[in-house]
Amino acid sequence: MTDPSPSNLFKKPAFVQGMLAGLPFILIIVPFGLLFGVVASEAGLSDLEAMAMTTLVIAGAAQFTAIQLMVENAPVAVVILTALAVNMRMAMYSASMVPHVGAAKFSTRMLIGYFLVDQTYGLAIKRYQEEPPIGLPEKLQYFFGSVLVICPFWYVFSYLGTQVGEAIPESYALDFAVPITFIALVAPSLRSLPHLAAAVSSVVFALLFAGFPFSSGLMLAACISMVIGAQVETWLERRA
Amino acid sequence: MIDMTQSQIWTVILLLGLGTFLVRFSFIGLLGNRDLPPYLLKLLKYVPVAVMPGLVAPMVVWPQATGGEPDLARLLAALAALVLGAAMRSLLWAFFGGLITLYAMLAILG
C-alpha cells in the first residue's frame, strides 16, 4: 500500500470488496462476541480483563477454552497451553498466506498476524485463489477491508456482553452458527477434485483422530489432507 | 467462578495473547518473501480445505449443545450449507442456506 491513509483506502475497489465480503459474518460475530462477554463476566473476570483477553487473543474458541479451564481451576500453564493448542491451526493459515503476502513490509505482516482470524483468513485466501488474480496491494487491501468489518464487532460486542450479563437463549443455537461459517468458506471450492478429496480426507481423519490430545488430531488430519489434495492434483496433471 | 489471583489471570491473558500472535505471525513473519519450493506451494493451496472441514466435522456429528448426540436439525443445516455452497459456488448461498435450514429445522423439530 503506497498510500495507506484511510480516506484513500475507501476509494480502492479491493478494500471495499473485502469489506463487503466480511459483512455476512457480522451476523455470527455479534452473538458470539456477546456470548464471550457474558461467559467471561459470569466466570468472574473484570471488564478490563475480559476486554484485554478479547482484544489480545481475538480467537473465540481459544478464549472460551481458557475461561472454562480457569473456572475449573486448572493450573495456569495448562490453561495457556490448551488454549494455544486450539489455535495451532492458525500456523497453517500463516504458512498458506506466505505466497500471497510474504512480500509485504514487516510491520504490515505483523498486523496481518494479529488479525489472522478464521473469517479474515478464509475470505482472503478464497479471493487469492480465485480468478482474476490480484497483485500484492490489492491482496492487502482486501484483507484489511474484511478486518475492518469483522474485528471491531468482536471487540464491541464482547464488551456489550460483559455489560448485559444475560445468557444468549439456547434457541439461538450459537454452537452451530459458527460451524456454518466454516462450511460456507470452503464449500464453494469443492467443485475441484483435489479440493474435494482433501476435504473428505479432512473430515474422515479429524473424526478418527478426535480423541487425540491438544488438538493434535486436527493438525494430523490437516497435514494428511494437504498431501492428498496435492497428490490428486499431480495425478490429474499427469493424466491430462 | 474463577479462583485465581490477579497476577495468574493476567499471566493467562498476556501469554495467551502473545502466544496466539506468534502462532499467527510464525510463517508470514519468518519466511517473508522467500521463494518456496513448488511442491510446498502446492501443499499450501490445500490448507483451508484440509483444516476447516476437519474443524467442523466433530461439531456436526457430535454437537456439544445436545450433549454429543447427533442432531437432525444440525446435520441437515450442515448438509444444506455444503450442497448449496458447492452447487452455487457461493459463500452467501452456503451461509444463508445453512442458517435458514438450521433455524427452520429447529423450529419444526422442536
Whole-number CA gyration radius for chain A: 19
Q: Which residue of B has its CA nearest to A56?
A: B17
The answer to whether residue A161 sits within a structural domain is yes
A134 and A26 within one domain: yes
Chain centre to alpha carbon of residue B86? 18
Q: Is A180 close to B26, i.e. CB distance below 8 A?
A: no
A117 and A10 within one domain: yes
pLDDT for A164 equals 86
The pTM of this model reads 0.91
Q: Which of A122, A154, A169 is a domain's end point?
A: A169
Q: Is B99 close to A27, i.e. CB distance below 8 A?
A: yes
Query: Which of residues 32 through 71 in chain B touch A, CB cutoff 8 A?
Result: 32-34, 36, 39, 41-65
Residue A18 domain boundaries: 6-169
Whole-number CA gyration radius for chain B: 20
The answer to whether residue A181 sits within a structural domain is no
Chain A CB contacts of B46 below 8 Å: 194-195, 198, 225-226, 228-230
Would you give the end-to-end CA distance of chain B in angstroms? 32
The answer to whether residue A198 sits within a structural domain is yes
Candidate from B28, B42, B53 with C-beta closest to A186: B53
Query: Which of residues 12 through 31 in chain B touch A, CB cutoff 8 A?
Result: 12-21, 23-29, 31
Q: Cα dist. A150→A18, A78, A153, A180, B66 in Å?
A: 10, 30, 6, 16, 29
Q: Is B50 close to A89, i.e. CB distance below 8 A?
A: no
Kindly report the backbone phi and psi dihedral angles of residue B98, in degrees, each rounded to the nearest multiple of 5, phi listed first: -65, -45
A32 and A145 within one domain: yes
pLDDT for A6 equals 60
Candidate from B10, B24, B90 with C-beta closest to A188: B90
The answer to whether residue A232 sits within a structural domain is yes
Q: Is B13 close to A49, i.e. CB distance below 8 A?
A: yes
A161 and A67 within one domain: yes
pLDDT for A194 equals 97
What total of structural domains would you count in chain A? 2
The answer to whether residue A229 sits within a structural domain is yes
Q: Is A202 close to B48, i.e. CB distance below 8 A?
A: no
Q: Which residue of A has its CA nearest to B82?
A: A187
Q: Cα dist. A144→A96, A103, A151, A229 in Å?
A: 17, 16, 10, 29
Q: Is B52 close to A182, i.e. CB distance below 8 A?
A: yes
A133 and A39 within one domain: yes
The answer to whether residue A49 sits within a structural domain is yes
Chain A interface, best mutation among B55, B72, B105, by max A CB count within 10 A: B55
Q: Is B47 close to A92, i.e. CB distance below 8 A?
A: yes
Chain B interface, best mutation among A32, A72, A98, A224, by max B CB count within 10 A: A98
3-class state of residue A232 by DSSP: helix
Low-confidence ranges of chain B (pLDDT < 70): none
Low-confidence ranges of chain A (pLDDT < 50): 1
Q: Which residue of B has its CA nearest to A90?
A: B24
pLDDT for A214 equals 85
In which element (H, E) is residue A177 found?
helix A174-186
Q: Is B47 close to A223, i.e. CB distance below 8 A?
A: no
pLDDT for A174 equals 75
What cell does A197 get? 478429496
pLDDT for B43 equals 96
Check: CB of residue A91 under 8 Å from CB of residue B27: yes
Q: Report angle CA B91, B94, B100 to the nearest 5 degrees.
A: 135
Q: Is B48 close to A122, i.e. CB distance below 8 A?
A: yes
Q: Is B39 close to A109, i.e. CB distance below 8 A?
A: no
The residue among A23, A24, A18, A31 whose CA lies nearest residue A175 is A31
